[in-house]
Homo-oligomer: A and B are copies of this chain.
Amino acid sequence: MTIAHTIQKIALFQGIDPKTIEKMAAHCHQKTFAKGKELFAAGDQADAFFVIIEGWVKLFRISKEGEEAVIHVFGPGESFAEAAVFNERRMYPVNAQAVEKVTLIGIPRSFLIHKIEEDSQFALNMLASIASRQHYLVQQLEQISTRTAPQRMGAFLLQFCKKQTGKDGIMSVELPYDKSLISTRLNIKPETFSRALGKLEPHGIEHKGHSIIINDMYKLADFCDISFKDTPC
């Protein structure tokens, strides 16, 4: 699969003509990082943003005491660090680490600036993309400040669920990565995560290993106080 083929699919580049995509691909570089490897650190110069082909990447900040605050976890087809490229200080504000072996494409800043200067539609795409990332952060902030651990768990499950054929409102979810990572992402400890899953049972959640069944997504969504405007499932 070519670089051009990959990047043309992401939302950011919708409505950009194929020729431009080809040209852009020539400026990009593909890289692979082993599990646990650091992609960049907070404070590094932001020369590029990234599109994930395969694997998962964790963005986080770390306190003096060594405590991690996970800002986001990105997977295949998603892009990240767009905003850092346009920030005045031109530095990544977070650390990025490969959760497992990850393959991604780096799109250099210089190319983006150039493209924005010559194509206003592209500039608008870029703005829309960053705006929606910001919306995500706002939701995250709301979740962490007003929801309990089980509610955040439920909201997470609803984000990752896929509709099951047949029955109405019944879903199944395959947890995309380790439970311990999900817990830091939700700002809870692994022990609390386990217990939170238990507390969701009365709300129609069954779990066995990494696969989870939601018997009634509307009931769950109600418990989690989720508006479906936020999470088109």
Which A residues lie at the B interface, using CB under 8 A?
Answer: 43, 61, 63-65, 67-69, 71, 83-88, 93-94, 113, 116-118, 120, 123-124, 126-128, 130-135, 137-142, 144-147, 187, 225, 229
Tell me the bound Cα distance from A70 to B138 in angstroms: 10
Known A116-B123, A124-B116: A134·B130 in contact at CB below 8 Å = yes
- Known A61-B138, A83-B134, A130-B130; further 18 A-B contacts with Cβ < 8 A: A43-B229, A61-B146, A63-B146, A63-B147, A69-B142, A71-B141, A83-B127, A83-B130, A83-B135, A87-B135, A88-B128, A88-B131, A93-B135, A116-B120, A116-B123, A123-B123, A127-B127, A133-B134
A139 CB to closest chain B CB, in angstroms? 8
Q: A88-B128, A88-B132, A113-B124 are in contact. Are A145 and B225 (CB under 8 A)?
A: no
In the A-B complex, the 8 residue pairs with the smallest Cβ-Cβ separation, listed nearest first, are A83-B131, A86-B127, A123-B123, A117-B120, A137-B137, A87-B131, A69-B142, A145-B187
Counted per complex, copies of this chain come to 2
Instruction: Considering the complex, give the chain B residue whose CB is closest to the CB of A46.
Output: B131
Q: Is the CB of A146 within 8 A of B67?
A: yes
